[in-house]
Homo-oligomer: A and B are copies of this chain.
Amino acid sequence: MQTYPKKRIEIIAEAPLLRRLTARLDEAGVGGWSVVPILAGHGHGGDWSAEGQIGTATQMVMLISIVDAARLDAVLDAVFGLVSGQIGFVTVADVAVVRPERF
């Protein structure tokens, strides 16, 4: 099956930041995004876990967005300005898709 290259952006960010992050993505013109939960983690700041938490301040979430390479820089710029001052990071990977016009 014919496939086409796209970029898969994965952002791991603090939960309180989520609304602002997705607003940035929307502004940067991405076609869509999905939020994946994270249960627990470890980093420079130590361990955390979602277990038993009633607030979201200590939690991280994962945002995934498939975008066209042409839009990658704009998206990274939009997101990076927000994430850089906060806890979290962004990774980008190459993926292939079947319906390129979707993204």
A residues touching B (Cβ–Cβ < 8 Å)?
A: 1, 3, 6, 8, 10, 12, 22, 25-26, 31-44, 60-62, 66, 73, 76-77, 80, 84, 89-99, 102
Contact = CB atoms under 8 A, between A and B. Distances in A.
Given A76-B1, A76-B98, A8 B42 contact: no
Give the most central of A84, A90, A91: most B CB within 10 Å.
A91
This chain: copies in complex: 3
A86 B50 CA distance: 26
Given A84-B99, A89-B66, A38 B34 contact: yes
Contacts of A97: 89-92
A3 B36 contact: no
